[in-house]
Structure 1
Amino acid sequence: MTEILHTGLYPNTLDLLQEHLQGQEFVFKEVGEGEVRKMDGNLKKYGALLVGEETNNPVRVAQEAYARDKNLSVLLINDERNYVRVKQSLQFSPFVGPTVVCVANTVQERLAAMVQDAAQRTEQRRSFQTLRKSIGPDLDFSVAALEKVRGDYTARVLEEAPIGAALVSKYGKVLTINAYAAHLFGKTEREILSGPLLALFPEQVQPRVEQFVNQHPITEPKRVFELPLAAGPKYLEISLAEVDDRNRENFKILIINDITDTMLSQQRTQAHLEELERMNTNLKRLNADLDTFIYTASHDLKAPILNIEGLVELLEGGLGNKRQEVAQELEHIKASVQRFKNTVEDLTEVARIQKSFEQEATLLQVAQLVEEVKQLISFDIKAADAVIEVDCSCAPQLYFSKRNFKSILYNLVSNAIKYRSPDRVPHILIRTWQEGGNFLLQVQDNGLGIPPSKKEKVFELFRRLHTHVKGTGIGLYIVKRIVQNNGGSIALQSIEGEGSTFTISLPVKASV
């Protein structure tokens, strides 16, 4: 069982780690930011220390942990906003070593693999330190001394190590190896001892292994080797250190770690990222094509519509006394032209919304914008005798595009009036608040409501669920696109015959 110490983690970060490391014998223990300096020798029982996003001084905590246990892996986990600042601070801070690493929580599922790898490296460093101490720099490597190392020290230490370890002579012979390492190569210790180290590796890998092991002095203490096996590739990370005796007999200590799962996971993640990048590129291209189509369609249709409208007016003026005979037909033509104009205007609005994320955000007073929208639809409000209640006290302001936020309010409130119930006075509640770092806007009505089977369709382009009122069915589509373009979400709760509630959530970066 490996215990992971943590301080200041976001709850969702801790939940993600516990979910992805479930069943892998990891236990998470929380500690206060100021308690690390009091732990001293107690840190040696933990596999890693996670310094989370809510820590006030993460670098100081890392320094205190490093001063007490230089083998302990320390991960400084930060959100996207603070990652660069903390990383730069760490680079120029004294009293920290290579065991302290800064990572961003945006890596999501890969964070669990990083924690697992960090704990494994802590075990490696501690085992390696124990091994080095047991061999000692002043040990005389005579034949008798070598047997003493193998019999009295090395066997005991190596067999207890949770990683592969081997002692190799200057001629490349394996002098001792633990059971874990032998298992990695699919052989017994008896088969390996006194044999050449290179024989343990596939032929195509042997030149790289030989070059790595024969370094003198060692300039590259660690390297990853890919072993092409019939069952699939195996990845071994090998750390190398020298032990020199008084007689200039050169021995090498190899620490061998199987990182196949980690490497394959990274490869899968990289493949997913590349696939997402391809999909993102395709989506950008499709969106660009859609923008071009919508703009061209709306632009090219305006002139013919205006021409038709002008011809109808000329025709109507030229009929004179005969106008009454075709009055009904003329009204139908004018109504059709108006619907056509409305559709083109809506297409133009869609093209604008496609680029809404490019609009500059300003500090908005929500209550003031609500009043402006009420003025725009004041005739409809009076005609319906609607009651509009506003409560923006919990979140009176936000940073957003004024035109876009006004469009959101206009479409939601006007829809609430359009689709009112004939059985009761329309009552609309508009309120805002903050929750979990997000700005929330809610518009609730007591209108007709929406059947459960049609709830998902209300946000589709040109979708109208009630045909007894005028409209093109584009309002809610526009609302959803504005919200999504700004990294937010929209939720709908509705009971047919009782009313609907639309709740919009915008990220904190777009609000105050």
Structure 2
Amino acid sequence: MASHTNENTELGKLKQKIAGLEKLEQQHKKVEAKLKTVNKQLQASENQLKAYNEQLRESEQKLNQQKEAAEQSREFAESIIDTIRQPLLVLDKNLRVITANQYFYKLFQVSPESTKGNLLYNLGKNQWDIPELKELLKKTLPEFSAVEDFEVEYQFETIGHKIMLLNARELLQKQGKERLILLAIEDVTKSRIYKKELERLNKELEIKAEELQQILYITTHDLRSPLVNIQGFTKEMEASLNDLKKLLEKMQIHPAEEKSLNTIMDEEIPEAIHYITSSTTKMDNLLKGLLSLSRLGRQKLTFRKLDMNRLMQQVLDDFEFEIGKNQVNIEVGNLPDCMGDDLQINQLFSNLIGNSLKFLKPEVPGEIVISGGRVENGCRFVVKDNGIGIPREYQEKIFGLFEKLDPKKPGIGLGMNVVKQVVEKHNGSIEMESELGKGMKFSIFIPD
């Protein structure tokens, strides 16, 4: 009985141990399940962390790229600014210098260290403390309005007297960023000095030209008096020669002496008179041409709107006999009205058409074509003929004084020079195209 009781006791203990083991196993399984869950969570967290790290790496890479691009853009912009041969400043709203280009440092003899971060007015020992500049910036910069070609004239301590044009603009930046001002400085000192000198020289040239015109006018007038006397005395010589011939016809003269006298009376004296007459005629034409040039130079222009169709008809009417005599075909297109002096424009086209008529080809029917039209800021007229043309080597000389295409032709070589002067007095231009044997073409621009 006691043995049976002991067995039951041992069996109970064994069952308790088994139950404890089962409970422990269940707890182990729960812990193991929890560990698996934790491991899964850790794995997920690790994967998420890896993803975050990858995103962070990509963001860092993009940020570095953006920083590099921004640095390149800044260097690129600075290199452009430094290349510009004009002083440039970038200022903040308080007029402190953010940056400047190399040309600013060079022109105003200041260093980057003494410039960046300092007030504009304090630069270079306060040499930018300019009252006009202060007043300008005080009025315009609070509203960040643009400044265009504001002129400042100032005596700088280091670089002397300067005349400058200032231009200012706000630099566009992203919203929320500090507003900046770009100040461009153009040194126009030399150009203004050159301009004043040019104006002085032009004025002096005008005075000299006026004096020359007066001298030319007086000289030609003074020369005409003795010329008229020579022409008069020559006619008297011709009349006296005829009277002398009549007297000699009534006188009894030895045949040998008569022959000698006839040689003198019929050949030598008439030849001398011919040379005198020819020379005085040339001199007379020359003086008339010089007088015409003198009048052209002194004439005051009266600009008005010209009916060019009417004016051209007047010009052609003056050449009616010569046109008919040479059977020249004249073609005139519809011409635009232009602004000019009536008398001088008439003279211009008279000389051009007269020139074409003078140099026709005898073996070919003559033809002169006149056309015109409106162009930008004015009118262009063209006079074209089928005459003998001009050799290439002569074309540069045609508008010179006393230049003649054919010395045998009448005239003294002033006509084309007058054409050039009229065009220049109207602030226009003239161009010529020609080939020997293929005629001439003159293109004239008359501005509004």
Query: What CA RMSD, in Å, does the superposition of the two structures yield over aligned residues?
Result: 4.3
1:396-421: CA deviation from partner (whole Å, max 9, x where unpaired): x3343222122112111111111122
Which residue of the partner structure matches residue 360 of structure 1? 302
Deviation at 1:279, TM superposition (A): 2.3
Say whether 1:316 aligns with 2:238: yes
1:340-383: CA deviation from partner (whole Å, max 9, x where unpaired): 11111101110111134x13245443333333333333333233
Q: What SS does structure 2 have at the residue aligned with 1:339? A: helix
**Cα distance change of structure 1 residues 489 and 324 upon mapping to structure 2, 3 Å threshold:** same
1:197-230: CA deviation from partner (whole Å, max 9, x where unpaired): 7996444749x589x99x9xx7998997876558
Which residue of the partner structure matches residue 408 of structure 1? 348
Q: What SS does structure 2 have at the residue aligned with 1:163? A: strand
Q: Which structure 2 segments of 5+ residues have no match?
A: 1-78, 143-149, 169-177, 246-261
**Conservation of the 8 A alpha-carbon contact between 2:432 and 2:441:** yes
| 1:464 partner letter | K
Q: What SS does structure 1 have at the residue aligned with 2:398? A: helix
Q: Which has the larger radius of gyration?
A: 2
Q: What SS does structure 1 have at the residue aligned with 2:99? A: helix
Which residue of the partner structure matches residue 331 of structure 1? 274
Instruction: Find 1:282's aligned residue among 201, 204, 212.
Output: 204
Q: 1:95-494 alignment to 2 at 5 Å?
A: 163-165=90-92, 179-180=98-99, 186-188=111-113, 201-203=123-125, 205=127, 208=129, 228-229=157-158, 259-260=184-185, 262=186, 264=187, 266-320=188-242, 321=245, 324-325=266-267, 326-356=269-299, 358-391=300-333, 393-395=334-336, 397-494=337-434
CA distance in 2, matches of 1:296, 1:285: 16
1:213-251: CA deviation from partner (whole Å, max 9, x where unpaired): 9x9xx7998997876558998989899xxxxxxxxxxxx
**Cα distance change of structure 1 residues 384 and 404 upon mapping to structure 2, 3 Å threshold:** same
| 1:480 partner letter | K
Q: What SS does structure 1 have at the residue aligned with 2:431? A: strand
**Conservation of the 8 A alpha-carbon contact between 1:201 and 1:227:** no
Q: 1:2-81 alignment to 2 at 5 Å?
A: none
Aligned pairs, how many?
320
Q: What SS does structure 2 have at the residue aligned with 1:472? A: coil
**Cα distance change of structure 1 residues 385 and 473 upon mapping to structure 2, 3 Å threshold:** same
**Cα distance change of structure 1 residues 447 and 238 upon mapping to structure 2, 3 Å threshold:** closer
1:437-475: CA deviation from partner (whole Å, max 9, x where unpaired): 312221101111112222121111111122121110000
Please identify which structure carries the higher helix content. Answer: 2
**Conservation of the 8 A alpha-carbon contact between 1:227 and 1:235:** no
Report which stretch shifted further, 361-370 or 454-463: 361-370
**Conservation of the 8 A alpha-carbon contact between 1:166 and 1:181:** no
| 1:427 partner letter | E
CA distance in 1, matches of 2:423, 2:167: 50
**Cα distance change of structure 1 residues 431 and 180 upon mapping to structure 2, 3 Å threshold:** same
Q: What SS does structure 2 have at the residue aligned with 1:469? A: coil
CA distance in 2, matches of 1:379, 1:475: 20
**Conservation of the 8 A alpha-carbon contact between 2:216 and 2:291:** yes
| 2:272 partner letter | E
TM superposition score normalised by structure 1: 0.53
Deviation at 1:188, TM superposition (A): 4.6
| 1:331 partner letter | H
CA distance in 2, matches of 1:164, 1:381: 76
CA distance in 2, matches of 1:474, 1:276: 30
Percent identity at matched positions? Answer: 23
**Cα distance change of structure 1 residues 237 and 454 upon mapping to structure 2, 3 Å threshold:** closer
**Cα distance change of structure 1 residues 227 and 236 upon mapping to structure 2, 3 Å threshold:** farther
CA distance in 2, matches of 1:407, 1:295: 19
CA distance in 2, matches of 1:198, 1:456: 57
